[in-house]
Structure 1
C-alpha cells in the first residue's frame, strides 16, 4: 500500500515514465496501479442526477486517434471517455449510463458541435434531450452582454430606450423602421454600438476557416477585454475560461501520460487530471 501511495503521488505530479524512473520500477506496473485506483474513484461517481452533458473530442496522438469526452455540464466532471468520435460514442455513453444505474431518459440537454454524426447519435440514443450547439450558446451570452450594456447606458442616452431588439436580432430580420434606427445608432460613439460591433465580430468567428479560428477567437477576446464595457469584459473572461477549461486539463493529462502505450492509459489520465480525483491511497505516507 505504501509503495502504491507513493507511485500514485508521483504519477499525479509528473509523466508516468518519469515516475517509473524515479521509483526504479517498470511503467507497466505503474499503469496497473494507476488504473486500479482511478477505476475505483470513477466507480464512485453518481450519474443518476446528471441532466446536462457536453460532448468534446481530442486527438489521442498527433491527430491520428481520437477520444470523445462526455462531461457533466453543471459539475464540469468527465463522466465517460471512449476511443473514437461520432455516433457510436453516443451509444457507448448510453450503455455506460445504464451500467451506472442511470438512464438516457434523464438527459435533458446535450451541448455539442454541429457534427451530423453527433446530432444523429443524440436523436437515436437520447431522443428526449434538447440539442444545444456551442454557437448558439455563445451567441446567447453575447446578446445578453450587449443588452446589459444597453440597459446601463440608456440612463444617460434616452435614445436607446425601446431599442432592445434591434441590437439582438439579425439585421435581415428587422423591419424597415428598425433598420433605420440601427443604421443611425450602430456607428455612433455609444457604448452599445461598440458592444454591437463586438457581437458582429463574434458572428464572423463561426465562418472563420478552422486553421485561423484559434487566432481569431484570441483576438476577439483581447478586443472585448480592452473594450472597458463591463458585460463584454466579463463575457470574454467566461469564454476564455470555457475554452481553456476541459481542453487545458486534457492537454495536461497528455503531458502526464507521456509514454502511454494505449488509449486506455490516456483516458485514465484524463479522468485523474480533469476530475482532480481524490483517492484514499494518496493519503498514505511513504515508508521510511
Structure 2
C-alpha cells in the first residue's frame, strides 16, 4: 500500500515501480528506491522498436521535499543493447535535464529563481549556488536554442552596465512580445551583426526587421544600417529629452557660480512639474518668470518645448516645429543646449520617426532597473554567462514547458 501511494504521488508507471522506502531520521532524508520489472524491454531514440536490457546503473536524484525532509530517488536505470550492438542508457521521463535531479525539482528551482537570487534559493533547497545556477543556465540555453523568432519585426536595442566602469551588455528586445531575445557583452557595430546572425539561426531573416529603436550611438546606427537594412531607425524620444535635461543641468551648474539663488534647484528643474511639491513649484515658477535674464530658465523652457513637440503626432508639424526649435536654440546664448540642437539636426529623420512609430526603449530601461536590482541582491555578478541567464529569467518570457512540462 505504501509503495502504491508513493508511485501515485511520484507519477511512476509500469514498468517502473517503487521498490523501497527508507527514512533516515538522523539525516532527515527520505530515500525512495525505484526499479523496473524484470524482463522489461525499452525503446530508444537511436533505433526503432524495444530493446533488451544489457546492464543497469544506479542514479540518485534529488526530488521535491517530503514535508520538511529532503527526498531522493535511487533509480535502477537500464542500459539497452541496440541491433547494431551499441549500448545506450534509457532514462525515465521524469529524470531532469541536469544530472542528479527530477523534472519536478528542477521546475521548482526554476520558478524560485525567477523571483529570488540564486543564493537565497540555494539556501532554501539545500544546494550550492553553483548547482542552482547550473539548473537555470541549462534551461535558459535549451529554451533560447529552441526559440522561434520568425514573427519578430520591431526591435529595441540598448545597453546596460554589467560592472563598475565602462563595462556594458547589449540587449535586444522584441517590441511586440515585450521580451528580451538577445544578449551580448559587446557594444559596437558588430553587436548588430551578431544579432542578425542570431535571427538567421532562429527561423528569421534580418530583412524582416522593419523598425529598430536605438539610442544615438554611432556604433548602433552603423550596425543597423549595415545588418538590418530594411529597418526604419527610431531614436527614442526619452533619450532625446535626457540629453536636453543634461544640458539644462549643465547650464544651471555654470550659472550658479555667479548666482547663488540657483543652488538647491537641481531636482526642481529636472523633475516633471506635476511631480513637484507646492513649494518646489513656486520656486520653479519664480525662476521661469525671469527667463529674460536667467539662461537656466531659458534652458528649462527649451527642454519643455522639446517635450511638447515630440508629444505631437503629425509628422509634418513635428518636423517644422523641431527645425524651428533648433534654429531658436542656435541663436540663443544657452550654450549647452546648442549641443542638443546640433545632435537633433544630425539625427533629424530618426527623431521625427518617433512621431509615427511611437517606439521607445522604455521597456528595456525597465528591464535594466530589474537587472540592477537583481545584481544588488546577489552582491553583484561577475561572469557574462550568469548575467545573461539572469536577464533571460527576468525578461526573456522563455517557454520552458517544451523542456519540462512542470515548468508552466
TM-score (structure 2 length as normaliser): 0.45
- Alpha-carbon distance between aligned partners in 2 of 1:44 and 1:270, rounded to the nearest angstrom: 17
- Alpha-carbon distance between aligned partners in 1 of 2:128 and 2:215, rounded to the nearest angstrom: 40
TM-score (structure 1 length as normaliser): 0.61
Residue 224 of structure 2, aligned match among 118, 122, 127: 122
Question: Against the structure 1 CA distance between its residues 129 and 239, is the aligned structure 2 distance closer, same or farther, given a 3 Å change threshold?
Answer: closer
| Higher relative contact order structure (alpha carbons within 8 Å, sequence separation ≥ 6) | 1
Contact 1:65/1:84, CA 8 A, preserved across alignment: no
CA deviation after TM superposition for structure 1 residue 52, in Å: 1.1
Higher Cα Rg, which structure: 2
Residue 69 of structure 1, aligned match among 171, 174, 179: 171
Which has the larger share of strand? 2
Report the RMSD for the aligned CA atoms in angstroms. Answer: 3.9
Q: Give SS of 1:247's match.
A: helix
Equivalent position of 1:230 in the other structure: none
- Deviations, residues 110-129 of structure 1 (Å, cap 9, x unaligned): 11111111111112212222
Equivalent position of 2:134 in the other structure: 32
Number of residue pairs the alignment of both structures matches: 215
Determine if the alignment matches structure 1 residue 143 to structure 2 residue 309.
Answer: yes
- Deviations, residues 127-180 of structure 1 (Å, cap 9, x unaligned): 2222211249978984374579xxxxxxxxxxxxxxx95996147389xxxx9x
Q: Give SS of 1:60's match.
A: strand
Equivalent position of 1:11 in the other structure: 113
CA deviation after TM superposition for structure 1 residue 44, in Å: 4.2
Which has the larger share of helix? 1
Equivalent position of 2:324 in the other structure: 172
Equivalent position of 1:246 in the other structure: 367
Taking the TM superposition and a 5 Å limit, the aligned residue runs for 1:87-126 are: 87-126=189-228
CA deviation after TM superposition for structure 1 residue 241, in Å: 6.0
Contact 1:15/1:258, CA 8 A, preserved across alignment: no
Contact 1:257/1:269, CA 8 A, preserved across alignment: no
- Alpha-carbon distance between aligned partners in 2 of 1:262 and 1:244, rounded to the nearest angstrom: 21
Contact 2:214/2:220, CA 8 A, preserved across alignment: yes
Taking the TM superposition and a 5 Å limit, the aligned residue runs for 1:126-275 are: 126-135=228-237, 142-143=308-309, 145=311, 165=317, 169-170=321-322, 172=324, 207=340, 242=363, 244-255=365-376, 258=379, 260-275=381-396
Contact 1:105/1:128, CA 8 A, preserved across alignment: yes
Contact 1:147/1:167, CA 8 A, preserved across alignment: no
